[in-house]
Amino acid sequence: MSRKRIIAGNWKMNMTPSEAVKLVEELKPLVVNDDVDVVYCVPAIDIVPVVEAVKGTNVQVGAENFYIEDKGAYTGEISAPMLVDAGVKYVIIGHSERRDYFKEDDTFLNKKVKKAIEAGLTPILCCGESLEQRELGVTMDWIRLQIKSDLAGVASDDVKKLVIAYEPIWAIGTGKTATSDQAQEVCKGIRDLIAEIYDAPTAEAVRIQYGGSMNAGNAAELLAKPDIDGGLIGGASLKAEFGQVVNA
């Protein structure tokens, strides 16, 4: 497999700027691994100090959000060119928390994916089913709908560089991880869908992460699966344990 693994932390709404710099320093010796892309997706206010703090390391910085316009009268928002200028490389798009709490729908997320790519950011595009959907047996139907809508009109060369994160909503922050077989099944389903929409080389290139209560105890088993190329880590990214996930 030629895909480079990618372990990303999603700090969510945690860490003040000074706490953020402290965490980066603490993690520095623990996340050294040239075989893996390591990313910290941090709150907007932490971006500038964290970009500074990771200089000279193998860590790259991601944002958790941005708005689809480049500039203008959008009080409170941050644009993709602003992120790029600040040294951000990745951006999370379509996280279930933004879909649920901030009502971001697939039409809007499709615009975000296109804007991020246009600006030179790598999207980490999230998808995932609720417990109810899993129990109804519509997991893959739902995820196919999300991915198809979010990637509508995106060129295959751009999809090759994309990261897709499969995050079952019932596994986020619950301590309940999908089994490695469940996670592999959906990640493979996503790769098959990319092959269907685009072609085999695009599907082979796109990196697919698993996210949802991933930690030092379960990372190795999840990452051993052929279609799981990395992880998007919430809670465990805020402590020394993140180093063990990177090295799993």
Catalytic positions are 95, 167
Nearest approach, Cβ of 247 to ligand 13P (angstroms)? 17
Nearer Cβ to ligand 13P (198/206): 206
Binding test (CB under 6 A) with ligand 13P, winner from 37, 104, 167, 241? 167
Dump strand ranges (E) for 132-225: 163-166, 207-211
- Over the Cα atoms of the chain, what is R_g? 17
Structure token digits, residue 195? 């092959």
Q: Which residue is nearest to ligand 13P (CB)?
A: 234
CA 85 to chain centre: 20
Binding test (CB under 6 A) with ligand 13P, winner from 232, 245, 246, 248? 232
Angstrom distance (rounded) from CA 64 to CA 10: 7
Nearest approach, Cβ of 233 to ligand 13P (angstroms)? 5
Name which of 59, 57, 58, 78 is nearest 67 in CA terms. 78
Nearer Cβ to ligand 13P (189/211): 211
Nearest approach, Cβ of 171 to ligand 13P (angstroms)? 6
Stretch that binds ligand 13P, among 28-36, 149-157, 210-218, 222-230 (CB under 6 A): 210-218
Angstrom distance (rounded) from CA 175 to CA 235: 10
Asked whether position 150 contacts ligand 13P by CB under 6 A, the answer is no
Asked whether position 218 contacts ligand 13P by CB under 6 A, the answer is no
**For residue 169, what are the β-bridge partners?**
none
Binding test (CB under 6 A) with ligand 13P, winner from 211, 243, 245, 246? 211
Asked whether position 230 contacts ligand 13P by CB under 6 A, the answer is no
Nearest approach, Cβ of 21 to ligand 13P (angstroms)? 22
Asked whether position 243 contacts ligand 13P by CB under 6 A, the answer is no
Angstrom distance (rounded) from CA 83 to CA 194: 28
Angstrom distance (rounded) from CA 236 to CA 173: 10
Angstrom distance (rounded) from CA 209 to CA 217: 17
Nearer Cβ to ligand 13P (212/230): 212
Positions in 76-135 near ligand 13P (CB under 6 A): 95
Nearest approach, Cβ of 227 to ligand 13P (angstroms)? 18
Name which of 165, 12, 221 is nearest 245 in CA terms. 221
Asked whether position 233 contacts ligand 13P by CB under 6 A, the answer is yes
Angstrom distance (rounded) from CA 197 to CA 140: 15
Asked whether position 10 contacts ligand 13P by CB under 6 A, the answer is yes
Question: How are beta strands 163-166 and 5-10 bridged, if at all?
Answer: unpaired
Name which of 3, 81, 90, 95 is nearest 50 in CA terms. 90
Which residues of the chain form contacts with ligand 13P (CB under 6 A)?
A: 10, 95, 167, 172-173, 211-214, 232-236
